[in-house]
Amino acid sequence: MHYPRAVNASIPDAVAPATALVIVPTYDEIDNLSSIVARVHAAVPTAHVLVVDDGSPDGTGDLAERMAASDDRVHVLHRTGKLGLGSAYVTGFRWGLERGYEVLVEMDADGSHPPEALPAMIDRVLAGGPGAPALVIGSRWVPGGSVVDWPVSRQVLSRGGNLYARLALGLRIKDVTAGFRVYRRAALAAMDLTSIDSKGYCFQVDMTLRTLDGGGSVEEHPIEFRERELGESKMSRAIVVEAMGRVTVWAVQRRLGSLLGRRPGPDWVVED
């Protein structure tokens, strides 16, 4: 899939030395952006934040510009329309890879993902050695993880979607749809990012499979996930339907590939 080129970016060709780039997609997040960036920098003072704004009509992009003007750890990409979460992360990944960051982070702007968990998650990715994961997922559904202020219906939807993906695809991961993630540079650099066209929950499942298919391991780190207090959720029924449909298609493709002796990688499937 071809992604439209971002425009009017207040970004230098080279950045000050930093290991981690936290990518924060935004659309109408003016009430949340300052707080989440401050929390990121309180947790990881050396981290850089890339705001990928999809033309927010509420002025989020303008706020991000003002923040970038006063803090060289903040960068902004302005896109011309609401192009979607997956597309925003792919744009951020490419930008970060071009500038040499060793760790690239997915994080929502609404405060649901706790930046305070980042030091431990980043340390695991940077641990080195054969046991270091290529991806650490901030997980709601492992021991020690939790959700706050979610209605039962949302919990059932999330748990059910994760269970279906886990069973259909043979994954051990408990929270494969989670959007709070820390990737090692090498894992993303090995992917064909131009071929990604999935969105929402589906994007996270897609990226997990690509990481495992590339030979990387995945770990889950327990987090406390909080429902947003300000602004409106971007989740929709269409995103859930897309995820379920694509997971089903991928499961069928992989079962057929397995029958034909073509396994995509050593780690993604649970052995009988």
Whether residue 210 is contained in a domain is answered as: yes
Say which residues have a Cβ less than 8 Å from residue 113's Cβ, sequence separation at least 6.
107, 138, 179, 180, 223, 225
First to last CA, the chain: 36
236 within 8 A of 202, measured Cβ to Cβ: no
Cβ(191)–Cβ(210) below 8 Å: yes
Taking 60 as the threshold, does the pLDDT of residue 118 lie above it?
yes
* Sheet-wide strand order for 135-139: 74-78, 48-53, 20-26, 103-106, 181-184, 135-139, 218-222
- pLDDT at residue 263 above 80? no
**In the structure, what pLDDT confidence band is assigned to residue 12 with cuts at 50, 70 and 90?**
very low
pLDDT at 16: 37
Could you tell me if residue 63 is inside a domain?
yes
**Average pLDDT rounded to a whole number, residues 31-52:** 97
Please tell me the distance from the alpha carbon of residue 241 to that of residue 88, in angstroms, as a whole number.
Answer: 20
Structural domain count, the chain? 1
Rounded mean pLDDT of 216-232?
84
Q: Is residue 111 part of a domain?
A: yes
**Tell me, what's the pLDDT at 272?**
26
Structural domain includes residue 218: yes
Phi and psi (nearest 5°) for 259?
-65, -30
135-139 and 181-184 strand pairing: antiparallel
What is the phi-psi region of residue 176: left when phi exceeds 0, alpha when psi lies from -120 to 50, beta otherwise? alpha
Give the mean pLDDT of 139-161: 89
Domain ranges, residue 179: 20-259
- Structural contact between residues 118 and 105, judged by C-beta atoms closer than 8 angstroms: yes
Judge whether 123 and 20 are in contact, CB under 8 Å.
no
- CATH number where 131 lies: 3.90.550.10
Q: What is the per-residue pLDDT for 240? A: 65
Can you give the pLDDT at residue 183? 98
Residue with the two structure tokens 């960036």: 37
Q: Beta strands of the chain (E only): which ranges?
A: 20-26, 48-53, 74-78, 103-106, 135-139, 146-148, 181-184, 218-222, 224-226
Question: Domain for residue 123, yes or no?
Answer: yes
Q: What is the mean pLDDT of the chain?
A: 85
- Name the band, by pLDDT with cuts 50, 70 and 90, for residue 3: very low
pLDDT at residue 55, rounded to an integer: 95
Query: pLDDT per residue over 171-208, tens digit each?
Result: 999 999 999 999 999 999 999 999 998 876 789 999 99
CA–CA gap between residue 73 and residue 37 (Å, rounded): 10
Q: Is residue 245 part of a domain?
A: yes
What are the phi and psi torsion angles at 51 (to 5°)? -90, 120
For residue 91 the two structure tokens come to 């744009």
Classify residue 184: in a domain, yes or no: yes
Are the C-beta atoms of 126 and 103 separated by less than 8 Å?
yes
In a domain, 2, yes or no: no
